[in-house]
Amino acid sequence: GDPAATPILLIMGLNSQLIAWDEGFCRQLAAAGNGHYVIRFDNRDIGHSTHFTEAGVPDLQAMIGLAMAGKPLTAPYLLADMAADAAGLLDALQIDKAHVVGASMGGAIGQEMAIRHPERMLSFTSIMSTTGERGLPPPTPEAMAILFTPPPGGTLDAYLPHYAKVWRVLRGPSSFPEDEARDAERGTAVFERGLNPAGSARQLAAIFASGSRKKALGGVKVPTLVIHGDADPLVPVECGVDVAESIPGARLLRIPRMGHALPVSMWPEIVGAIAAHAAAHPGR
């Protein structure tokens, strides 16, 4: 997009590089409405961003045990630190305020931005995310298993079937042939940019240790749109409903058949909703 246009900052989810925001999706968003300057980036511990290797690999199973016992958790960093990264990126780009769009863990990072850095946000769109509140419906067993299955090391040939299986599960029960046909191309791009399983574990530890944002979200004044798929196997739609109910004035868009992914066939609806939300809140 045009750097002089209204900026939209895209924040991606767990173990997902900036290329998880598909270039075609970004081009549609850049062209929508009066035009936008679309910014995507690698979160810490993924892709070409800083890897916190010296922090080691957290014991996720032990963290789950502590969480179930109601005990406090520690992690190398928290989602609040990742929200500060996003605000810092705006500083580096000399952008005062942006429309912020976060998907999955990126939605949780966006929530932390809305809590801690609201002055940097024109609006917020939370996609397939959660407040982190305990008691919400869990992932399906198959999606939970995917979350804790590290990618096979070594070769691209070993990685691609794993990548395809992950997205077959996350897209949910509906078939999306256009996306399935692109899995090899997308998986190759992810592999060639660089995998960081230890970084993914640290990101997951940040999610666990950050806890619930539900109470703090009650004070958020950033205009918020929540988008969630009715068929999400990883973050069930009830989690999106909870986000919308927790943020005053938030609107909820539920999309039938959509799982924990952004299928090509649904880009027009999702892009249109984001662009309309941004247009309704040009300045604060």
Assigned token pair, 240:
């999106």
Residue 97 belongs to some domain of the structure: yes
The total of other beta-carbon atoms located within 10 Å of residue 33's CB is 16
Residue 145 lies in a domain: yes
The residue behind tokens 């996609």 is 127
CA distance linking residue 170 with residue 231, whole number of Å: 9
Residue 1 lies in a domain: no
pLDDT at 170 over 80: yes
* pLDDT at residue 56 in the model: 95
User: Is the per-residue pLDDT at 17 higher than 90?
Assistant: yes
Provide mean pLDDT across the span 227-241.
99
pTM above 0.95, yes or no: yes
Cα separations (Å) of 117 from 57, 60, 133, 157, 190? 29, 29, 21, 43, 30
Q: Average pLDDT, stretch 228-233?
A: 98
> Domain range holding 238?
6-280
Q: What is the DSSP letter of 266?
A: G
Give pLDDT, residue 121: 99
> Which secondary-structure segment (H or E) carries 100?
strand 98-103
Q: Which residues contact 112 (CB under 8 A, 6 or more apart)?
A: 79, 80, 82, 83, 210, 213
Cα–Cα distance measured from residue 223 to residue 212, given in angstroms and rounded to the nearest whole number: 20
pLDDT reading at 167 higher than 80: yes
Burial level of 185, CB count in 10 A (0-12/13-18/19+)? exposed
Query: Quick one: pLDDT band at residue 154, thresholds 50, 70, 90?
Result: confident
Q: What is the mean pLDDT of residues 122-135?
A: 97
Length of the chain: 284
Q: Band the pLDDT of 114: cuts 50, 70, 90.
A: very high
Residue 214 lies in a domain: yes
Total domain count, the chain: 1
| CA gap 225, 206 in Å, rounded | 24
Strand partners, 225: 125, 251
Across residues 9-13, what is the average pLDDT? 99
- By annotation, the residues acting in catalysis are 104, 232, 260
Judge whether 64 lies within some domain.
yes
In tens, the pLDDT along 187-196 reads 999 999 999 9
Residue 119 lies in a domain: yes
Mean pLDDT of 128-156: 93
Residue 63, pLDDT above cutoff 80: yes
Backbone angles phi, psi at 273, to 5 degrees: -65, -45
Interior/surface letters 98-135, b for 16+ CB within 10 angstroms, e for the rest? bbbbbbbbbbbbbbbbbbebeebbbbbbbbbbbbbbee
Give the model's pLDDT for residue 175.
Answer: 93
DSSP string, 16-81: --GGGS-HHHHHHHHHSTT-EEEEE-PPTTSTTS---GGG----HHHHHHHHHTT-----SS-HHH
Confidence of residue 284 (pLDDT cuts 50, 70, 90): low
**Span 50-60, pLDDT tens digits:** 999 999 999 98
Q: Are 61 and 24 in contact (CB under 8 A)?
A: no
Q: How confident is the model at residue 69 (pLDDT cuts 50, 70, 90)?
A: confident
State the greatest distance between any 2 C-alpha atoms of the chain, in Å, as a whole number: 51
DSSP sequence for 194-207: ---HHHHHHHHHHH
Q: What is the mean pLDDT of residues 100-113?
A: 99
CATH code of the domain covering residue 175: 3.40.50.1820
Q: What angle, 0 to 180 degrees and rounded to 10, lies between the N-to-C axes of helices 267-280 and 23-31? A: 40
Average pLDDT over residues 251-271: 98
Return the pLDDT at 173: 94
Determine, yes or no, domain membership for 81.
Answer: yes
Could you tell me which residue, 64 or 12, shows the higher pLDDT?
A: 12
Question: What is the model's pLDDT at position 204?
Answer: 95
Say what the pLDDT of residue 226 is. Answer: 99
* Residue 102 lies inside a defined structural domain of this protein: yes
